[in-house]
Amino acid sequence: MTSRISFFKLTINEWKKLGWLTALQALLFAMVIPLRLLLPLALEKKVKARSIIDVLCENVGFDKTLTTVTIVAMGILCALAVFSYLHSRKRLDFYYSLGLRREALFLVKYTAGTLTFVIPFLANQALAVLVGALYGVMSATVVQEMASASLLGILFFLTSYSAAAVAVLLTGKTLTSVLAIGTLSVYLPMVWLVVCGCQQIFLPTLLPDGVTYLGGAYRLYLTSRRLMLERSSPWIMILAWSPDGAAVRQGLTGMWPDLGSICLFLVLPAAMTALCLALCRVRKTEAAGKALAFAWTEGLIKIMLAVPAALFVGMAVYEELDSVAWEICFVAAFGALGCVIMEFIYRWDIRQALAHKWHIAVTLALSLAIFLLFRLDLAGINTYLPEKEELAAMSVRRSYSDFCYYDDEGKRTKNEQDILRLLETDKVDLIYPLAEDGVRNVQESNFDGYYVSLNVEYRLKSGRMVFRSYTVNSDLYKKAQRELMKDEEYRKRYYPILNWDDERLEQIEDIWVLLPQELWEMFAQENSADSSDGKAGVTSYDEKMTDGLTTEIKTAADHPDISGELAEDVMDGQDSEMESDSDTGQDAETDGWEYSEWEYAEYSASGVMTGMTLSEEAGRRLIRAYQEDLAESDGLLTDVGSEGSMSIEWKRGLNDPYNVDRYLLRKDFTRTMEVLREAYAEGTMNEKDMRG
Amino acid sequence: MIEIQNVTKQFGDVTALNHVSAQIDEGCIFGLVGTNGAGKSTLLRVAAGVLKPEEGSVKVDGTPVWEEPQAKGKICFLADTGWFFPNASANTMRDYYAIVYPEFDRARFDELIGKFDLDPKRKLSGFSKGMRKQVAVLLGLCANTKYLFCDETFDGLDPVMRQAVKSLFASELLNRKFTPVIASHSLREIEDICDHVGLLHKGGVLFAKDLDEMKLGIHKLQCVLRSEQYEEELLSELTVLQHEKRGTLLTIVARGEREAITAKVQEKEPLFFELLPLTLEEIFISETEVAGYDIKNLIF
């Protein structure tokens, strides 16, 4: 009997009943895809074939944010509409009495919901191709790319739709479904932010990624953390997806996604659909109308949400009041309040808001334990200082040097811990006082004078490695660093540029120099005085510079060289220094941001920096001169008269994607300055558009 | 045949069905009665495969009903909170039922919907409660399933419609294998429809019997005797469950064989004597008293 129920007929019937959803999506996608393409084409008076392709690139195909956001939103809406039967006892009585397994009914509904998207979406994608064809652009590549983009769009939809279906199955009401979708979307990043916030505020000495080497476990940790943030929910994965980040090949109208992306978005909805089917099997019919479908999840979810909320409040109160007693009060109050709110959402009855008191007790215990662990540094992270006799080696490095370090295989070392490992020295007596000062400073917070931010590695004789970040007196650091730099081998390790030979210089793609405007003008004046013909070329070059090639560097983040890395550092939580610096009020000396030092340099009073590129030959001369100057100097690059920087861009692939080294320039690097002046006089320098 | 074996169903802390066992034979009209909250709807929902019992099982023709499409396909369940698709008409529902119940008889449905004077194209949301129940019953009947579960379905029908539906059920019983199970909180609603009755109370079945069998063991009589002495003798000789005297007319509900009771009365040479048909309520009083319950407080 039952086997005669036609899956196809039932699906079509269900789809017909969702006609409103199909119509809504048809309308939305018409606006987002063909109309968005048609409008600029129709409004443009003279359209050339090339510009039509540009318009196509901008409006249809891969990685169109508006389209992707619409797809994600429709996935959620469809799931809420299609699977709403799971939240209604009346409808479950009807559907579950039919001669169908629950999984079969779910698949019928799932397919019908998918059809409400696929049909209008594909129709509008086809319309977009038709619009292009009407304007004279029709090629197999365009069609192929649109077909691929359509496939990816469908996969995005299925991912969003399936994930939202999981949320619907886990809940018993539409309201809690919506809340569950929101929670699932941002929960992990929010928790991660709270943990990072606690680390940065309460454990400032903890070097981000500060886990010891455990046979590569920490690399796994780094990878998993990034994966967790970028792949913390299906919706974030979709929105974070970009063909630029994947291995791509250029199509006529844009980029092609790699096979890995497609496979990922094939596997993800399939896995979540399988999860839905499993949930269908175990989900009780009587879950309809309840906040959560599975009673055992109530306490767990309540605690998982209330604890981070309480910790967040604790951090906020610390920032405002800095009183342990008040912080404990607020953490406890908001932990309990979180539980009460959740209980109210569960029961929708204020009289039962205090039910399940043990949930509140567990939340309070966990919240206070975690908060006090951070707040009082119960693990002794900030005050950790091994005995000198326990140490086999140490290393020290100022944060955020922009030049790269390389491992034995010549690959760039990106992580601070790896770099510190490369800089290890057994001269513990020189570095240990810096660590002592750092530990003292974090306890006393009584700063007097200039301070620098340092990263320190302890390698104990036991083999254990510990990493810390300290704020240390600047003079103490300079003294130690000068002593360390007397060791030529150490200096070469510290400044990799000193090891560059001709073979390596062959790999340079481009060199550009960033100097204060006043210094360039001084070069121009010196060259004019040396020249009898008045250096007409240089004069016109100056005019060009002042016409529009000047770049004003206001903040570190504005700098195109560092912005990418800075962003990474911020992600790693390494921006805590900015806060500690503002506390000490020692911007120029203590923050490690070389850019802020420029503002105090002799020739950069205006704060206007100008970028110039060098010819290949001049660039090599510059590096050779720089190597000599650096080798003969005291080895301190960041504190003494830094005037600007030279950036060396490597040929693609060598250090990709971080293929730029930046070294600071000093006014007392006479050979370097001379090479620059000569190159400027020779007219072998060209403008560098620093606006990126 | 539907076998309900030791079924227990809990909703949180509430035990809706507590080790319920019953058997519903083919070809009868089974009435399931009980007070509000007795577990009638829950039992029907479990039997229809909507709810999964914590313990026990329900078998339809020997096949467990839970998640077994073949067994569930033999049942059409009309829930008390009958649900139709939004904006659906009778024709829309007919089309859907025709898909999910492969044996659905479209022609019969169209014929019956006309006989009941219901507009098949009108939105069901515009129908009265009773009209929607009529549509639900017609859909259930035309689904042509072997078993039809009606939860409080008859409560909203007027006497004429109930009689019409009763006729339809009788017709179905004659023409095919058909076993309706009708749940109601009121004995009066179903006593003229059912031939088998099960009484649920506080999640347990008190009993389930054939009405005719029950009627064989209990009788209601009215008589006028010559003296009060005869009356007292008769009352002491019969197993009287209930008696009442209005003027000279004595009404007695007594347990026992019809012939024996008649003989006892005739011995007193009554001026007037007749046996009356018993109502379902009166039968239930006696049966539940046997089971040790004071049913008057339960269902009336």
CB contact under 8 A, A13 and B99: yes
How many Å apart are CA A439 and CA A442, to the nearest integer? 5
Do A318 and A462 belong together in one domain? Answer: no
In angstroms, the first-to-last Cα distance of chain A is 70
Residue A113, min C-alpha distance to chain B (Å) = 16
Q: Which fold has domain B2-210?
A: Rossmann fold (3.40.50)
Indicate if the pLDDT at residue B296 is higher than 90.
no
How many Å apart are CA A74 and CA A80, to the nearest integer? 10
Which residues in chain B are contacts of A17 at CB distance < 8 A? 85
User: In sequence order, which ranges of B101-226 are alpha helices (DSSP H)?
Assistant: 106-115, 129-142, 159-175, 187-190, 211-216
CB contact under 8 A, B102 and A98: no
A5, A17, A286 member nearest B102 (Cβ): A5
CB contact under 8 A, B81 and A90: yes
The answer to the question of residue A338 being in a domain is yes
- Burial of A486 from C-beta contacts in 10 A (0-12 / 13-18 / 19+): exposed
Least Cα distance to A481 among A446, A440, A433 occurs for A433
Domain count, chain A: 4
Output the CA torsion sign for A520, A523, A527, A528: positive
What's the distance, CA B155 to chain centroid? 11
A88, A89, A100 member nearest B69 (Cβ): A100
B51 touches A at CB < 8 Å: yes
Residue B217: pLDDT band with limits 50, 70, 90: confident
Q: Which of A343, A375, A407 is the last residue of a domain?
A: A375
User: What pLDDT, on the 0 to 100 scale, is given for residue A385?
Assistant: 95
Do A555 and A414 belong together in one domain? Answer: no
User: What pLDDT, on the 0 to 100 scale, is given for residue A568?
Assistant: 38
The answer to the question of residue A198 being in a domain is no
Do A520 and A551 belong together in one domain? Answer: yes
Least Cα distance to A253 among A380, A149, A407, A390 occurs for A149
Do A109 and A155 belong together in one domain? Answer: yes
Residue A17, min C-alpha distance to chain B (Å) = 8
Residue A9, min C-alpha distance to chain B (Å) = 7
The larger pLDDT score, comparing residue A215 to residue B2, is at B2
User: What pLDDT, on the 0 to 100 scale, is given for residue A222?
Assistant: 58
The answer to the question of residue A215 being in a domain is no
Nearest residue of chain A to residue B78 (CA atoms)? A94
CB contact under 8 A, B81 and A89: yes
B236 touches A at CB < 8 Å: no
Which residues in chain A are contacts of B67 at CB distance < 8 A? 101-102
Residue A157, min C-alpha distance to chain B (Å) = 26
Least Cα distance to A461 among A382, A394, A383, A384 occurs for A394
Do A82 and A148 belong together in one domain? Answer: yes
Nearest residue of chain B to residue A95 (CA atoms)? B50
User: What pLDDT, on the 0 to 100 scale, is given for residue A408?
Assistant: 74
User: What pLDDT, on the 0 to 100 scale, is given for residue A325?
Assistant: 94
Nearest residue of chain A to residue B87 (CA atoms)? A17
Give domain limits for chain B: 2-210, 217-299
The answer to the question of residue A191 being in a domain is no
Nearest residue of chain A to residue B10 (CA atoms)? A286
Least Cα distance to A60 among A42, A36, A87 occurs for A36
Q: Which of A456, A479, A494 is the last residue of a domain?
A: A494
Which residues in chain B are contacts of A98 at CB distance < 8 A? 72, 100
Q: Which of A375, A407, A432 is the last residue of a domain?
A: A375
CB contact under 8 A, A9 and B99: yes
Read off the amino acid at residue B102: P
CB contact under 8 A, B95 and A3: no
Which residues in chain A are contacts of B12 at CB distance < 8 A? 295
B52, B74, B101 member nearest A284 (Cβ): B52
Percent of chain B with pLDDT over 90: 48
A13, A97, A101 member nearest B50 (Cβ): A97
CATH 2.30.110.10 correct for B217-299: no
B72, B79, B95 member nearest A93 (Cβ): B79
B201 touches A at CB < 8 Å: no
The larger pLDDT score, comparing residue B210 to residue A307, is at A307
Give me the domain span that covers residue A143: 2-184+224-287
Do A411 and A393 belong together in one domain? Answer: yes
Mutate to test the interface with A, among B13, B17, B50 (most CBs of A within 10 A): B50
Contact A463, A386 (CB under 8 A): no
Mutate to test the interface with B, among A1, A3, A13, A108 (most CBs of B within 10 A): A1
How many Å apart are CA A581 and CA A272, to the nearest integer? 47
CB contact under 8 A, B79 and A96: no
DSSP state of A456: E
Interface of A with B (CB under 8 A): 1-6, 9-10, 13, 17, 88-94, 96-102, 104, 284-286, 295
| SS3 assignment, position A336 | helix
The larger pLDDT score, comparing residue B155 to residue B160, is at B160
Mutate to test the interface with A, among B74, B83, B146 (most CBs of A within 10 A): B83
Least Cα distance to A366 among A317, A415, A314, A407 occurs for A314
How many residues would you count in chain A? 692
B45, B52, B83 member nearest A91 (Cβ): B83
Mean pLDDT by 10 residues, chain A (692 residues): 75 95 97 89 68 75 86 97 95 94 96 97 93 81 83 94 97 95 90 87 76 45 65 87 49 64 90 96 94 93 96 93 92 96 91 89 96 94 93 87 76 79 92 94 77 91 91 90 93 92 86 81 74 35 33 34 35 34 34 33 54 83 93 78 78 60 85 87 62 38
How many residues would you count in chain B? 300
The answer to the question of residue A397 being in a domain is yes
- Burial of A685 from C-beta contacts in 10 A (0-12 / 13-18 / 19+): buried
Contact B77, A97 (CB under 8 A): yes
Tally DSSP H helices, then E strands, for chain B: 12, 14
Contacts of A276 (CB under 8 A, 6+ apart): A106, A110, A162, A165, A166, A169
User: What pLDDT, on the 0 to 100 scale, is given for residue A212?
Assistant: 37
How many Å apart are CA A444 and CA A217, to the nearest integer? 34
How many Å apart are CA B3 and CA A685, to the nearest integer? 95
Q: Picking from A517-526, B47-56, B224-233, which range would have the lowest pLDDT averaged per residue?
A: A517-526
User: Do B2-210 and B217-299 have matching folds?
Assistant: no
- How do residues B280-294 score in pLDDT, each as one tens digit? 777 777 666 666 666
Contact A253, A144 (CB under 8 A): no
- How do residues B111-131 score in pLDDT, each as one tens digit? 999 999 999 999 999 998 889
